[in-house]
Amino acid sequence: MDSVIGFINNSNRILKMSKEQKEFEVGDLIIPLIAGIMELGDPPFEITEINEGSYTCIQQIGTYKSTLVLKSGRMRHI
């Protein structure tokens, strides 16, 4: 019975951790939540600058650099 209770407590802890919002920091890799920005196989964006809730993100594919400025609700951590 103790193992069942331990399993339930561990599952609840993992579920709680997955629901917590992580703070974005410079250097984090993110996926933008905007339709049509990324295709399958594209590398993630990297946060390079934070200004009052706006995050500047850069994606580099070869020599091409793509820059986005996003709010925290429009992106997710990898």
Predicted pLDDT of residue 26: 94
For residue 33, the one-letter residue type is: L
Q: Which pLDDT tens digit goes with each residue over 62-78?
A: 999 999 999 988 999 88
Q: Which pLDDT tens digit goes with each residue over 29-60?
A: 999 999 999 999 999 999 999 998 899 999 99
When pLDDT is averaged across residues 12-20 and rounded to a whole number, the result is 52
Give the whole-number percent of the chain exceeding pLDDT 70.
73
Predicted pLDDT of residue 20: 56
Residue 75: Cβ-neighbour burial (10 angstroms; 0-12, 13-18, 19+): buried
**Which domains are assigned to the chain?**
22-77 (2.30.30)
